Amino acid sequence: MRGATAGGKESTTAEYYPYTKALYAVRRLHEKFDSPVMPLLCHWEGTAPWAPPYVWPPYGDKGDFDRYVAALHENGDYIGLYCSGIAWTQCSGIEKTYDRSAEFEREGLAKIMQVDTDGVLRPALICGMPIRRGYDMCPACEETKRIAADELEKIVENSDVDYVQFFDQNLGGSTYPCYSGEHGHPRCPGKWQNEAMRGIFARMQEVLKRHGKEKKVLIGCEADAAECFVNDLRFNDSRHNIGYFVGTPVSAYNFLFHEYVNNFMGNQNTSWVIVDFEKYPDNLYYRLAHSFSQGDMLTVVLKEGGKIHWDWCTPWTVKEPDQEGVGRFIGHLSDWRRHYGREALTYGKMCKPEKVFCGRYRESIYYGGEHDFPSVVTHKYEYGDGRKIQFLTNFLGKDQKIGVDAAVKSCCLIEDSRGERRGRLVAQKGVFWLTVPARSCVALEYGAGTQ
């Protein structure tokens, strides 16, 4: 809300703060996509931006924040908040007046912090200076569980928030190793870490139940929730794009867990330091297509003027993508998710897709090497009465003629997001041939009621 770029280097901006100043941008997106949207606020914390564990009340004018939330809900939209996990902030490098060093010493809080193998306090492993200076709290400590639950309670008791990404920085809902002999856990990494985090999640569910919001408020983490946390963290900041540093991300997580948990594509942080967007503007379209196709909800990051930007860490001085083009593509994919593709993309079990014969999309990366992707993104789902649907998403700005292996002798081509334009495909020498229009999705439907 207050930062023009990511991290501790940003200059503060009044573009979207106080909070109600951002309503024009939210309403514009709602209209553009013909869909409810959920602003997920960064740099909103009341103590200081990125100053866990204390995150409430919201920064500045609480009354304005309440008016903002009420206006969102009145328009049929939602509201989400980034927090920053169970780290402890001694002082903020962004909000210079924030300093809890005296409290830390007075209350002897070192006793609940994670320590290294030598028993010495270890600085926080993520988001150190220039963002903040501090430590990581050990989740095995009762005081850590109490603080985390109390902070969530302040939010749900004093606001009508729909989603709290409380565990940003606790990747997958996990914690970091602690080697203390005073916290009641083994002095090594192990199962105790997962049990301790689940203890925190259980406390939070108790809070939600106490306030009658167990079916109203979702809690999530950064990255996909680890297998042991899928029942606790049901909506998470996936960010598959981080895998672009080392290669090509695949949808293994969604293949295993999509029918149990839905995620969203995240703020796409780090994309800017991997790919030259001016040279490869289709990169954003690829990321959107991949997230949509693997069943994640889409996200956009805004720069000034309500304009959609490349990712969260791209400076506002960088020219934004084509607003009309990217807005149209997001609206198109959102329409597929909310209508014909809703059951499959929300509740379906991902299965092995039929082989697709198409071109390649290549882009050089800053770290050396090249990304080499199929020019059409595809995933296949099974759901309901045994129906199987394979989505084919063309993220390029030109029509593509492609082939799909005809393991089944015939199938139904779905050409629009409402499932109304249908055509029966017949295999030619073992291949279905079809054309996917530029920056659009079509689907192949197999199984019950298809033929």
- The CATH number given to whatever domain includes residue 300 is 3.20.20.70
Assess contact for 288 and 248: CB atoms under 8 A: no
Q: Is 10 helix (H, G, I), strand (E, B) or coil?
A: coil
Interval 21-42 mean pLDDT: 96
How many domains does the chain contain in total? 1
Residue ranges making up the domain that contains 207: 7-349
Q: How confident is the model at residue 252 (pLDDT cuts 50, 70, 90)?
A: very high
Return all residues near 314 (Cβ < 8 A) that are at least 6 apart.
5, 271, 272, 277, 301, 303
Percent of the chain with pLDDT over 90: 84
pLDDT in tens, 116-147: 999 999 999 888 888 899 999 999 999 999 99
Q: How confident is the model at residue 364 (pLDDT cuts 50, 70, 90)?
A: very high
CA distances from 141 to 124, 178, 188, 241 (A): 17, 11, 15, 34
Q: Establish whether the linkage from the previous residue to 130 is cis, with ω within 30° of 0.
A: yes
Tell me whether residue 392 is in a domain: no
pLDDT at 8: 47
pLDDT for 1 beyond 70: yes
pLDDT at 34: 93
What is the average pLDDT value for the chain, to the nearest integer?
94
Q: How confident is the model at residue 45 (pLDDT cuts 50, 70, 90)?
A: confident
Q: Is 378 helix (H, G, I), strand (E, B) or coil?
A: strand
Residue among 150, 144, 145 at smallest CA distance from 211: 150
Tell me whether residue 17 is in a domain: yes
Tell me whether residue 191 is in a domain: yes
Tell me whether residue 254 is in a domain: yes
